[in-house]
Amino acid sequence: MTASTQKPPAGALDRLRGIVGPQGFLDQAGDVEPFVVDHRKLYRGTTPLVLRPESTEEVAAILRLCNEAGIGVVPVGGNTSYCGGATPSSDGSQVVVSLSRMRRVRSVDPLNYTMIVEAGCVLAEAQAAASSVDRLFPLSLGSEGSCQIGGNLSTNAGGTAVLRYGMMRDLILGLEVVLPDGRVLESLNSLRKDNTGYDLRDLFIGAEGTLGIITAASCKLFSRPTSQVTAVVAVPEPQSAVALLSRMRSASGDCVSTFELMPRFALDLVLKHVGQTQDPFEERHNWYVLLEIGSGRYDTGMRAGVEADLAAAMEQGIVLNAVIAESEAQREKFWRLRETIPEAQRREGASIKHDVSVTSSELPRFIIEASAAIQQISPEARIIAYGHLGDGNLHFNASQPAQGDASQFESLAPRINRAVHDLIARYGGSFSAEHGIGQLKRSELQRYKNPVALSVMRTIKQALDPKGIMNPGKVL
């Protein structure tokens, strides 16, 4: 079940070029360069050809030909994968298929609260299409200016509004998918209810391009919140943040859309390396939460309610201080504190990253135990545990010691990963909560995934892609 590892024959490459025409491919070294290196620069591959189809029919013709010839195909969206999920192998045997020319919003139906977008549509453009008809497409990520809907679907992207709206899987009604043999699975309906057999749609979401190429999706839309409160809240410890979340969720009737945990060290790095924001308080605290709550026109007392609840939480000692954004500019500064943490950490030097989840209530204990486990291996490592507390999903990262050597620290990655992921397994948690598997976490999947689940995954892969042409070397 593997595609050829030989370079594709010249004749096959010519036929592929013919499918997309002169505007639809790149084959010069300088032009293909952005497609052979991953976002984190962990992987470098090579490819003879990047295809840029303009239609579902062209994608179908490409896959039909590659399937016949046994040529591996790597689908790519905005190339923002954290796990090397869209980088070709280094043997030059695989062609890349970029969906970036299929970026149309095919239709928007504000009355049905749905829209149909093509896979190459940039997430920010999809959000804008929804807001142009006074609707919300709620998926929200740091990379939303460049990541594409197809990549969001293939990785089942999460982000900072999952708490209220769910992950990408929860935001989709129907899909159009080209199967490895070139058949088109047309199931682009916008129905809320359709119980007609197996749910094939969910197979392709999160499959990281290993079962076919998603070309379009029918997305759920929501009402835009008209009253919104954004606050930065200082808390004594993560346990208090969990208690605060529960309080705000029940007080608001589940209108909390964002609840992001940030340690002091993350703020220090943002203020040092990124700037264009400021410390929200005069005094330093150990832990912070970025909180956003939104509601509709009927809810006019929201801000007063949030203030009263935060004040009551202060009296209880689970909140130390809080500041509510007074303007859109201040809100953006608050968001900047959170959204630029990955960039700030990158600029601080080497880091070893984990994308783990446990239940929200177990997160505080996990942070203590996992920090101790890392510090046994590298006593000077600087832990930076931040992220989606409301989803039980933390980016539990370690930055190199302040005075240390980057490559020496990176050489500890296998031991540190093992310690963190073994601990996660003991909690019954996930070692990859939102970033997927790609190339980076294949061995972790083999080690930690339930063997029966792995075997079912292999059976599905074999049934849909018997020649193994779709994104070879990823996931399984």
Binding interface with ligand MLT (CB under 6 A):
142, 342, 355, 387, 395
Quick one: 53 or 342, whose CB is closer to ligand MLT? 342
Quick one: 144 or 176, whose CB is closer to ligand MLT? 144
Smallest CA-to-CA distance from 141 within 218, 199, 82 is with 82
Q: Least CB distance from residue 258 to ligand MLT, whole Å?
A: 11
Give the contacts of 98 (CB within 8 A, at least 6 positions apart): 35, 50, 51, 52, 76, 77, 120
Cα pseudo-dihedral 139, 142, 146, 151, rounded to 10: -50
Can you state the angle between helices 413-426 and 363-377, rounded to 10 degrees?
150
Cα 421 from Cα 58, distance rounded (Å): 42
Q: Least CB distance from residue 230 to ligand MLT, whole Å?
A: 17
Quick one: 87 or 89, whose CB is closer to ligand MLT? 87
Q: Least CB distance from residue 284 to ligand MLT, whole Å?
A: 22
Quickly count: other Cβ atoms within 10 Å of residue 315's Cβ.
Answer: 8
Cα 380 from Cα 382, distance rounded (Å): 6
Answer yes or no: are the C-beta atoms of 269 and 354 closer than 8 Å.
no
Quick one: 62 or 341, whose CB is closer to ligand MLT? 341
**For residue 194, what are its two tokens?**
């359709």
Answer yes or no: are the C-beta atoms of 240 and 286 closer than 8 Å.
no
Q: Least CB distance from residue 295 to ligand MLT, whole Å?
A: 25
- Measured from each CB, the residue nearest to ligand MLT is 342
Q: Least CB distance from residue 65 to ligand MLT, whole Å?
A: 36
Q: Least CB distance from residue 383 to ligand MLT, whole Å?
A: 14
Quick one: 205 or 262, whose CB is closer to ligand MLT? 262
Quick one: 395 or 467, whose CB is closer to ligand MLT? 395
Cα 319 from Cα 200, distance rounded (Å): 45
